[in-house]
Amino acid sequence: MRDRLILLPGWGLGTAPLEPLADALRGLDERLRVQVEPLPTLSSRDPAEWLDELDDSLPQDAWLGGWSLGGMLAAELGGRRGERCPGLLTLASNPRFVAGSAWPSAMPAETFAAFRQGCAADAAVTLKRFALLCSQGAADPRGLSRLLLGAAPQVAPESLLAGLDVLAALDTRAALQSFAGPQLHLFAGLDGLVPADAAAALLALLPDVEIGLIDTASHAFVLERPHEVAAAIQAFLHEVGDD
């Protein structure tokens, strides 16, 4: 199933933001089977339990990819599967979402803590704020945020909080370093959630993988610029011979 690509979504907004990208990829190569799969809806804050559920439910021997949190989970699952994963693809996905001394190119810890506190107090208001942050830097940020929110599923507040805790706990650097297959990591130059300099930091960590930056794009570039993102992915898949 090396002609299959599984895409995982980001936190809170469901699978809809990835569907235009999946359609664009199918349009570029009818042989490529693209599946957008939802994240687990767990109350567990343990990333291993989320990965266990994904490992049990997702096909083996498929490329793994994802947007933001979905990309982090794909990276960890790819590291776990090893040769049973032909390649990895991440989109606006930082190896660590929350900054620390070993990885400063991320969201400040105090900013994340305030965001989590807001989600615990009022999940609906926090999701609206999150959609605006995802759209920051887009040509039409308010229009893009409305698209993101309009298709967002109803998720229990405890699952949203668990997802934030998983997001904060994940550190995919070791998984990415151990993964021997091809990797493509795309970043957005005007991302309001993942600093653009995370791309350079990841390149320093992984000098032999493909890393790209779409300069004038938001965190939600999978929905804002699906055809441009799809073209970059398809070119990479063609280059490594898995088209």
3-state secondary structure of 233: helix
**Residue 227 is among the residues annotated as catalytic for this protein:** no
Largest CA distance in the chain: 49
| 98: Cβ contacts below 8 Å, ≥ 6 apart | 106, 107, 108, 109, 112, 167, 168
3-state secondary structure of 98: strand
Closest CA to 92 of 2, 242, 226, 208: 226
**Residue 208 is among the residues annotated as catalytic for this protein:** no
Q: Please identify which of the residues 105, 219, 227, 243 carries the catalytic annotation.
A: 219
CA atoms within 13 A on the CB side of 198: 32
Q: Please identify which of the residues 135, 145, 191, 218 carries the catalytic annotation.
A: 191
Q: What is 18-49 written as a DSSP string?
A: GHHHHHHHHHH-TT-EEEE-PPP--S---HHH
CA atoms within 13 A on the CB side of 107: 23
**Residue 191 is among the residues annotated as catalytic for this protein:** yes
Q: What is 155-192 written as a DSSP string?
A: --HHHHHHHHHHHHH---HHHHHH--S-EEEEEETT-S
Q: Please identify which of the residues 56, 68, 105, 208 carries the catalytic annotation.
A: 68
Q: Which residues are catalytic?
A: 68, 191, 219
